[in-house]
Amino acid sequence: MAVYVTLIRAFQDWSVTLGMLQIEGVKHAPIFTLENPKRDTKIDALIPAGVYTCKPYSSAKYPDVYEICDVPGRTYILIHAGNFEADTTGCVLVGLSAGVMKNQAAVMQSKQAMEELRKLIGDQEFTLRVVDVFA
């Protein structure tokens, strides 16, 4: 069964990009996202809006996460746990809530969000559509 996920980016400023994940055809609790802001670097900038294939990925540092494949000029772009912009180098962080922590934008309950994603998607590939709706 094909799985389709949409990342809706709703807010961006000089320090962070925030959004939400929506899994097509599945009722689920909100899953918030945090990414780097748009930058002129390829190393730690958010990925371009578009459609990507995601695959399960696991390493010692990032066990049981998902890799966003075929990002132009980039590799190892992951969906993983983390709270702050400093926790990502071009990856997508997830959380069950979003707000301010330690005077900076953050997603919270990140490990629980990854557990929820694994329950909803499992160990299968899925299609990720990234949409920018901020001005």
- Under DSSP, is residue 33 helix (H, G, I), strand (E, B) or coil? strand
pLDDT given for residue 135 in this prediction: 62
Q: Do the Cβ atoms of 22 and 6 come closer than 8 Å?
A: yes
Q: Evaluate if residue 129 carries a pLDDT over 70.
A: yes
- Report the pLDDT averaged over residues 101-107: 95
- Under DSSP, is residue 121 helix (H, G, I), strand (E, B) or coil? helix
Taking the CA atoms of residue 130, residue 63, residue 42 and residue 97 in that order, the dihedral angle to the nearest 10 degrees is 50
Mean pLDDT, all residues of the chain: 94
Residue 4 CA, distance from chain mean position: 14
Angle among Cα 8, 10, 15 to the nearest 5 degrees reads 120
Confidence of residue 53 (pLDDT cuts 50, 70, 90): very high
Q: Evaluate if residue 122 carries a pLDDT over 80.
A: yes
